[in-house]
């Protein structure tokens, strides 16, 4: 077997995880724009959404 090939077939990403991470990234961007425009309270939901997306990405990475 060559070192650049794998015996394992690639696994598909679960759709709910992909949608969750995409939604969190969009929410973080919207909150950051709001914070730049003078609403610093928007940083709290941005931080929560970012942490949720990071947790989901790490969870999917562990299960693969």
pLDDT digits 0-9 by tens, 31-53:
999 999 999 999 999 999 999 99
State the Cα–Cα distance between residues 1 and 39, nearest whole angstrom. 57
Question: Is residue 6 predicted with pLDDT exceeding 80?
Answer: no
Q: At 5, is the secondary structure helix, strand, or coil?
A: coil
Residue 17 has pLDDT above 80, yes or no: yes
Minimal CA–CA distance to 20: which of 46, 47, 44, 55? 55
pTM beyond cutoff 0.85: no
Domain boundaries, the chain: 15-63
* pLDDT at res. 25: 97
């Amino acid at each position: 077997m060559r070192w650049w090939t794998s015996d394992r077939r690639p696994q598909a990403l679960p759709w709910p995880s992909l949608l969750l991470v995409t939604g969190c990234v969009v929410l973080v961007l919207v909150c950051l724009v709001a914070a730049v425009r003078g609403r610093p309270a928007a940083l709290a939901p941005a931080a929560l959404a970012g942490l949720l997306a990071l947790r989901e990405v790490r969870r999917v990475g562990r299960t693969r």
